[in-house]
Structure 1
Amino acid sequence: MGMLKDDAALLALFEQLALAAGAAIMRHYDAGCEVHQKADDTPVTAADRAAEKVILDGFRDARLATPCVSEEAASGGVIPVCGDGDFILVDPLDGTREFIARRPDFTVNIGLIRNGAPVAGVIFAPARDLLYSARPGAAFEVMVVDGQPDERRTIRARPRQNPPVIVASRSHCTDETRAFIDRHPGAETTSIGSSLKFCMIARGDADLYPRFGRTMQWDTAAGDAILRAAGGMARTLEGAPLTYGPKGGEGLEAFASPFFIAETAPV
């Protein structure tokens, strides 16, 4: 872990850097910035890169030895060896399409992986002044005032409702997603961008989040950590918990995630 003594100190660092990265994003949000396409045809902006720099510089300043896989650096070929120990997954600006469309549902995601499982995470939605933070057994929603954490409340996933509330991606709805919704007669559906879908379940406002589309591990790690701490979980279509770490494939493909269902606590 480098110079940090425990997971509580690491989570505090995650919160601090997520807030600072969010401030960098909002400067670009207010001023506007150009949009470019990456090799995988996904959008990237100066805000993505500025937020990532804040986080990675912060890890270096803290003398953190834990390997970190961060989206934009990884897209440029910088992927550290993770091995079997702890590592960090970072999406410096999740929901870039929401950011470009000037909707408030974009986030900063930082997650800690241990033995293939997400054990701590922070999600900050700077345009909403909302931060979510979790360690094993404890998940929190934090109001942010003037860039600093203020009121902090414990959140918990609710028992599954029938019919359920299903939260779906605004930007990535697929035929499989619509078929999943159809298998739950009477379900209420709602859409929101980025990893805030995990947070809706963790805070007890929704029951299911089906994802039948491409995601990467940095998209899901922080949200999955928060959801697990709140009593839910993201599972593969076969019902197994999502696992994290390099899989088969080269480069970025080693960190691709399977289709999954994020779900609330069982009844």
Structure 2
Amino acid sequence: MSTPFSPLMAVIYEAISAILLFWHAVWHKVLGSASWLATNWSWVLGIIFLVITVRAILFPVFVKQIKSQRAMQALQPRVKTLQEKHKGDRETLQQELMKLYREEKVNPLMGCLPMLVQIPVFFGLFHVLRHLTPTMPEAKRTLYGWTLGQFNDASHAKLFGAPIAASFHSSPHELSLLGANGTTVKVAAAILIAAMIATTFLTSRQMILKTGWAEDPQQRMVQRLMLYGIPFSLLISGYVFPIGVVTYWVTQNLFSLGQQMWVLRKYPSPSPTGV
């Protein structure tokens, strides 16, 4: 059954496919069809440069996120004063906080914006890679701007011997259609999932180390969720993620670590605190 969001998601699928196919074409011209270390590098590099493209587009938003966090941090003493003044009167407290944020032109939601923007991108790539299965009817293989040749090539593309369309939980039947060894897929997926969890934790920890823990209990709870909850959830969800999606996530985290380091140095905390 279609939903009101189907047309929007179709646009996202086509946009993700267009970027991925563009970078694959670029790297295919450079590297050809050669495969080294049991890896089809033109497709793997296509995923990596998809990350770089998305992060480059979102870079201005990321800078605004850091500036917003700095502004929120500078307002913490005034926020704490309001919390003490209106203790027990939650409605008045919220009104006063909103008034303060308007006066200082601070948007508390800006800190979550880059992540919210990337969620459709992530699910778009997840859908596109899950679409790359040899059991897909031929009529659907050319969806989102793909040709039959591109579909067949990508559906068998491998990273260290594991198809990028396979996942840790892929069935023996699916693996046989992909021409993959089950042990190889599980080992590659397990290593990538571990890397995904570790880099997700390090990315959140890096931000908190630089900005400090929030004074507001709700914001602190969100920080703890980001630091511990999300990495833990990836232990479960990573089980079903295609290897290409996990590769995207790990690459994004590594890129974020470098990007955050540069931006946080450029916009230092007004009152740095440790964790």
TM-score after normalising by structure 2: 0.30
Which structure is higher in RCO with an 8 Å CA cutoff and minimum separation 6?
Answer: 2
TM-score after normalising by structure 1: 0.31
Which has the larger share of helix?
2
